[in-house]
Homo-oligomer: A and B are copies of this chain.
Amino acid sequence: MNNRIDAKYQEMAKISKALAHPTRMFIIDKLNENEHCVCELTDLIGADISTVSKHLSVLKNAGIISAEKRSNMVYYTLRCSCVLNIFSCVMNVIQSNFESAKQIIE
């Protein structure tokens, strides 16, 4: 693995790592429907607000969501609909795993 190639996989892993948490997956799903401020998401998730804020910052650092401050609230939105493709691709993998398991059992 030379450096140039390595940088590519590093970058890809960074995106994937940002998605690799149930709460962050949930956030993406919610932001797909609507923009949401931190406190709205916090209510939906039921964790400490600082925890939610940190999850949001992980997603933001990966370039997956973006923040806009209005009055004293920060509203988050999906930055690029391509994330949703990843979302449904992941569901496809799960579906495919399920089908395989089903075949083995039946």
Chain A residues at the B interface, C-beta cutoff of 8 Å: 1, 5-6, 9-13, 15-17, 19-26, 29, 44-46, 62-64, 79-80, 82-83, 85-87, 89-94, 96-97, 100
Dominant SS among interface residues on chain A: helix
Contact A93 B1 (CB under 8 A): no
So how many copies of this chain end up in the complex? 2
**New contact pairs (14) apart from A64-B93, A82-B93, CB-CB < 8 Å:** A5-B26, A12-B90, A13-B19, A15-B94, A16-B20, A16-B25, A17-B17, A20-B20, A63-B93, A63-B96, A80-B93, A82-B89, A83-B89, A85-B92
Q: A85-B92, A92-B85, A93-B64 are in contact. Are A12 and B1 (CB under 8 A)?
A: no
